[in-house]
Structure 1
Amino acid sequence: MKIKTLCAVLGASLLWPALSQAEIVQRQVVTAIAGEQDSEGADVLTVAANTACGGRQVRMDARSVGLDDGPYEAMKARLAKQIRSKTPMLVTLKKCPDDASVPIVRQIAACTPAACADGRARLYLHERFFPIEQEKAPNVLVLPLPKGKLPGTWKVEIYSVAGHKLRLSGQVNHADYAQGELVGGYVTYYPNGKTEKQVAQDGQGRQHGIGSKYFPDGTLELRGDWRHGLPEGEHQRYHATGKLSETSIYRDGKQLDGPVQTFDENGKLSSSYTLRGGKMEGEMLTYFPDGKISSRAEMQNGKFNGVSTNYYPDGAVQARMTQVNDLPTGEAMEFYADGKVKSRQQYGDKGGLLSIQRYSPQGVLVLERKWDAQLREQGTSRSWYENGKPEQAIDYVNDRRDGWSRSWHEDGSLKGECQYVAGKAQGGCGEAPPAPELQRKEQAWRAL
C-alpha cells in the first residue's frame, strides 16, 4: 500500500494499522436488494449514485456489519421499508477493494441532517493522514478526488473534522487516495491554519527543490534544497526565536566533512566539532552563553573516546571521566565549585559501575557503595550524616541483604538493627527501610 510512503515523506514514526480499518462514508439511496445472495452468501444492494469506489453496487452480510443472524435479518426488514420510501442512508464501506470486486458495507443507517448534509463520500484519516475508523479520525477527505493540475494526478485537500481547517493540500498519482503517492509537491498545515511544511517533489514523489518546515507560530524551523530525494547544498535549522541553530552542507545526499558550529536560541555559539567521514572526530566543545567553554570531549568515529570534562562558568572543573566507545571506564570524578571532591565513581571495562563515594561540601564522606562485575551490590553500603557520624550500614551479598543492617540517630545513638540471611530478616525485627538520606543520595547517584 502506497499510503506508507505518504507518511514516510511526512516524517511520521508510527505503527501501521491494516488499511482494512479504513472507512469511506457516503450518503446513498438504496434502490434494491437482490432476491438471492451472491456466491459468498452476501446480500447485494443497488444504490442510486456511484460509490466512491465506482459502480452502483455494494455487498454486506451479518459478519461485515457486526450483527448476529437474528438482528441482521431484522435490520434487512427495516431496510426494505427504507428502500420503498427512498430514505437516504449513510453507508460506510470498509475500503475500496484492490481489484474490481464490489465493496463491502461495514455500517448502514438512516441519515441524520447533521451527517447527511450532502451526497459526497468521505474518507476519514489519522493525524498523519492514513485511513482509520470515523470515530477516531481528526481529519477527513471528500471523495471522489478531482483531477489534479499535473497529468495523471488527482487533487487532495484534507480538512480537520472539527473546525474544517485545511490540513494538507497536494496531489496523488492514483484516483484511490489510499493507493496513491503524493507527487509534485504538497503543503501541510497546523490545526491553527498556519503552514507546517512546504515540500517540493518531482513526478515520482521524491523530495526535489526547496523544502521548508515552520513552528506553529509561523517562524521558520528548517529550510534546505533537495535533488530527487537527497539533500543537496545548504540546509539551515532555526530556533523558535528565529535565530540560526545550525547550517549543514550536503553533496549527493551526504553531509560534507569539516568544521561544524551550532548556536543557541539567542544566536550565541553553542557547540563546535569536526565531521570526518560523516561522523564527529577529534575534540568536541560546548560553550556557555558568554563564550567560555562548558565541556570538552574527545570523539573518534562518532563516539566518545578519551577524556570528557565539564566546567563551571568560572572555568573550574565540574566533572571528568574517561570513555571508550561511549562507555565510562576507570575513575570518574565530580567536584564542587571550590575544587573539593563531590564524588568518585569507579567503572569496569564494559561501563558497569563498581563503586561510588560521595562527599559533603565540607569534604565528609556521606555515601559508599560497591558492586561486582555482574552489577550485584556487595559488601557493606554505608551512609554518614554531614557531621561525620554514621547514619546507616547494610551488609549485602549478591544484591541481597546478608548480615547486619543498622541505623543511627544523628547524635550517634543506635536507632535500630536487624540481622539478615539471604535477604530474609531474622527474629522479629522486620525489614528496615533505607534511611531517607541514603535514599536521597542513591537517587542523586542514579541521576549521574
Structure 2
Amino acid sequence: MRNRFLFFVFVYMTTIGYTQKFNSFDGEGKRHGRWQKKYVNSDQLRYEGTFDHGKEIGEFKFYKPNSGTIPTATKMFSSDSDSVQVKYFTAKGKVISKGKMIGKERVGLWTYYHKGSSKIMMTEDYKAGKLHGEQKTYFENGQLTEKIIYVRGEKQGKRIVYSEKGVLIKEFTYENDQLHGITKYYDVKGRVRIEGNYKRDRKDGIWSYYENGKLLEQKRFPIGKTGS
C-alpha cells in the first residue's frame, strides 16, 4: 500500500514538474519559456520551441503525425528581426529546401536540393512572397540546366536551357509571363534547328527549320496568314 502511495506521489510530482518545465505563461497571459504541443490523442509532438513573453525566439521544430523525433521543418527566430530562417526536411532528416520568410511570405534567396542529396537543384529569389530575380536549376552533377529572370512573379526576358554537358539547347523570350519574341532550338553541336517568334504566347511570322545547319523549310504563323 505504501509503495502504491509513493508511486502516485511520484507520478503527480513528475506531472507538476513537466507542467512547470513546459507550456508556461507570464503575468500577462503570454506564452513564456519552453513550449511543446502534441497532436490530439497522440504522444507525437506537433511543435516545440521557446517563447519570450509571447514572441518566438531561437529554433522551433515542427513535426508531422507519425514522424517520430525527426522534424519536418525548423524555423529560427531572432529577437531583433521579423525574418525567420526556415528549413524543410525529408523523413530521413535531409534538407529539402531552405530560405527566409516574413510572416507567410518567402523573401530573399531560397535553395532547393536534389532528393536525398546535399547537391543544389535550384536557387531562386523572392520579394514579398513572389519570385523576383534570377532562378537557376542544376543537374545533379552541378551543371546549370536552366536560368530565367522573374519580376514580381512573372517571367521576363531570356530563358536559357542547357544539356547535361553544358550545350545550349533552347532559348526562349518572355514578356509579362508570356512567350513574346525570338525562340530558338539547337542541335547537339550548337547549330540552330528551329527559330521563330512568339507574340503573346502564339507563334507569329516566319519560322525556319534546319538540318545540319542547312535551311529545310519555312512556315508562316498563324497558319493561313499571308504576307503583306
Give the TM interval when normalised to the shorter protein.
Answer: 0.5 to 0.7
Q: How many angstroms apart in 2 are the aligned matches of 1:247 and 1:365? A: 46
Q: Which runs of 5+ in 1 are unaligned?
A: 1-231, 429-448
- Return closer, same or farther for 1:417/1:339 CA change in 2, 3 Å cut-off: same
Task: Find the counterpart in structure 2 of residue 307 from structure 1.
Answer: 109
d(CA) in 2 for partners of 1:386 and 1:292? 35
Match of 1:363 among 158, 166, 179: 166
Question: What is the match of residue 416 of structure 1?
Answer: 217
Q: Tell me how far 1:261 sits from its aligned partner.
A: 1.3
**Which amino acid is the alignment partner of residue 337 of structure 1?**
E
Displacement after TM superposition at 1:266 (Å): 4.4
The correspondence for 1:391, drawn from 185, 190, 193, is: 193
Give the structure 2 partner of residue 382 of structure 1: 184
Q: Secondary structure at the match of 2:179?
A: coil
Q: CA deviation at 1:248?
A: 6.5
Matches within 5 A, 1:249-288: 257-258=56-57, 259-263=59-63, 265-267=66-68, 268-274=70-76, 281-288=83-90
Question: Could you tell me the percent identity over the aligned residues?
Answer: 16
Residues of 2 paired with 1:336 and 1:282: CA distance?
29
Q: How has the CA–CA distance of structure 1 residues 406 and 237 changed in structure 2, closer, same or farther, with 3 Å as cutoff?
A: farther
Contact 1:317 1:339 survives alignment (8 Å): yes
Matches within 5 A, 1:220-239: 235-237=37-39
Amino acid at match of 1:407: Y
TM-score (ref. length: structure 1): 0.36
The question of whether the paired residues in 2 share the 8 Å contact of 1:418 and 1:425 is answered with no
AA aligned opposite 2:198: Y
Letter in 1 for 2:220: Q
Closer, same or farther: CA 273–417 of 1 in aligned 2, 3 Å: same
In structure 2, the CA distance between the partners of 1:332 and 1:245, relative to structure 1 (3 Å rule), is farther
379 and 244 in structure 1: CA distance in 2 versus 1, 3 angstrom threshold: same
The answer on whether the counterparts of 1:418 and 1:426 sit within 8 Å (CA) in structure 2 is no
Check conservation: 2:62, 2:74, Cα contact below 8 A: yes
Question: What's 2:28 paired with?
Answer: none
Correspondence 1:340 to 2:139: no
1:289-317 residue CA offsets vs partner (Å, 9 max, x unmatched):
44343321011233111110112344222
Q: Does the aligned pair in 2 maintain the 1:377–1:397 contact within 8 Å? A: yes
Distance in 2 of aligned mates of 1:342 and 1:282:
30
Aligned residues: 183
Aligned partners of 2:43, 2:206: CA distance in 1, in Å?
60
1:359–1:237: structure 2 CA closer, same or farther, 3 Å change rule?
Answer: farther
Q: 1:398 to 1:235 in 2, by over 3 A?
A: same
Question: 2:117 and 2:39 mapped to 1: Cα distance?
Answer: 30
Query: CA contact under 8 A between 2:155 and 2:178: conserved in structure 1?
Result: no
Give the gaps of 5 or more residues in structure 2. 1-30
* One-letter code aligned to 2:121: Q
Q: Higher strand share goes to which structure? A: 2
Task: Give per-residue Cα distances to partners, 1:189-222, cap 9 Å, x unaligned.
Answer: xxxxxxxxxxxxxxxxxxxxxxxxxxxxxxxxxx
- TM-score normalised by structure 2 residue count: 0.65
Distance 1:243 1:345, change over 3 A: farther
1-side partners of 2:60 and 2:102: how far apart?
16
Moved over 6 A (4+): none
Q: What is the letter of the counterpart of residue 403 of structure 1?
A: G
Aligned-residue offset at 1:339: 1.2
User: Per-residue displacement from partner, 1:64-115 (whole Å, max 9, x unpaired)?
Assistant: xxxxxxxxxxxxxxxxxxxxxxxxxxxxxxxxxxxxxxxxxxxxxxxxxxxx
Over the aligned positions, Cα root-mean-square deviation in angstroms equals: 3.4
Shift of 1:377: 2.5
Structure with the greater relative contact order (CA < 8 A, sep ≥ 6): 1 or 2?
A: 2
State the shift of 1:237 in Å: 3.2
The answer as to whether partners of 1:345 and 1:356 remain within 8 angstroms in 2 is yes
Q: Which has the larger radius of gyration?
A: 1
Q: What's the CA shift for 1:401?
A: 3.1
- AA matched with 1:343: E
Q: Residues 273 and 281 of structure 1 are in contact (CA less than 8 Å); yes or no, is this contact kept in structure 2?
A: no
**Residue 337 (structure 1) shift:** 1.3
> How far apart are residue 256 of structure 1 and its match?
6.6
- Residues 127-182 of structure 1 show CA distances to partners (whole Å, capped at 9, x for unaligned) of xxxxxxxxxxxxxxxxxxxxxxxxxxxxxxxxxxxxxxxxxxxxxxxxxxxxxxxx
- Aligned residues of 1:281 and 1:302 also touching (Cα < 8 A): no
Aligned to 2:209: 407
- Residue 294 of structure 1, aligned match among 62, 76, 96: 96
- Quote how far apart the aligned CAs of 1:235 are: 4.1
Distance 1:266 1:257, change over 3 A: closer
Whole-Å separation in 1 of the counterparts to 2:44 and 2:187 = 49
